[in-house]
Amino acid sequence: MTSPDNSPTSPADTYADRSYRSPAGLVGGVLLLALIAWLGIDALVNGDPRTRLLAAAGLLAGVPLITAFTLRPVVRANAERLTVRNPFRTITLPWASVEDLRASFSCEVFTGGKKYQLWAIPVSLRQRKRANRMSAKAAGAAARGEEPAEVRRASADRSLDELRELRERNAGREGAQGPVAVRWSYEILVPLVVGVVGLVLLLAL
């Protein structure tokens, strides 16, 4: 997850775009793409005609699929809207349309009776359990009159705290009004479908 520095800034900088990604997803995506590229290129160069066709269809299906779930997800927020880019669609939500943001087993945004998952902000139950243990220890230390250690919340919870603050601060702005817009990611879906259909046909022959 990346976000702007919290040091004092000018009013214009206060509303600069914030971007949230999963570092583990980015690293995993790059490694998987490198692996599939190596295997696919080797098959295209050294394989027989049928193997080359299978490799081409596999690359056509595999590259967009891996990209969709690892490199593509991102959440961006500014003074006017929240933009959620998930594997197969992009949801643009003006702050006035956002009803709630929650993190349980996944991070979700609620609007108009619908909910959308924030793929770019994964929930780590391990981090949350660790934060809860630290919070309990800090409460015990305070009860004994000791100075409690600083409790650092889980990354997903901190990210949603920032997004809730942006919503509360900006929902009344003129530029934060309007309907929710959902756009399907055809640049991912079209090659993926073509590749899958090609694989099915080749394997059926």
Confidence at residue 189, expressed as pLDDT on a 0 to 100 scale: 98
Least Cα distance to 135 among 163, 158, 154 occurs for 154
Q: Using the predicted structure, report yes or no on whether residue 114 has a pLDDT greater than 70.
A: yes
Q: Is residue 181 part of a domain?
A: yes
Q: Is residue 1 part of a domain?
A: no
Instruction: For residue 22, give its domain range.
Output: 11-204
- In the chain, alpha helices (H): 11-14, 23-46, 49-70, 125-143, 155-170, 186-204
Q: Using the predicted structure, report yes or no on whether residue 142 has a pLDDT greater than 90.
A: no
> What are 46's two structure tokens?
């050294």
Burial of 83 (0-12, 13-18, 19+ CB in 10 A): middle
Confidence at residue 60, expressed as pLDDT on a 0 to 100 scale: 96
**pLDDT interval class at 205 (50, 70, 90):** confident
Q: Is residue 3 part of a domain?
A: no
Q: Is residue 5 part of a domain?
A: no
Q: Is residue 4 part of a domain?
A: no
DSSP bridge pairs for 77: 18, 82
Read off the pLDDT of each residue in 15-30 and give the average, rounded to a whole number.
90
Sign of CA dihedral 141, 147, 148, 149: negative
pTM for this predicted structure:
0.79
Q: Is residue 58 part of a domain?
A: yes
Confidence at residue 11, expressed as pLDDT on a 0 to 100 scale: 44
Q: Is residue 129 part of a domain?
A: yes
Q: Is residue 90 part of a domain?
A: yes
Residue with the two structure tokens 């609007």: 111
Domain count, the chain: 1
pLDDT tens readout for residues 38-91? 999 999 999 999 999 999 999 999 999 999 999 999 999 999 999 999 999 999
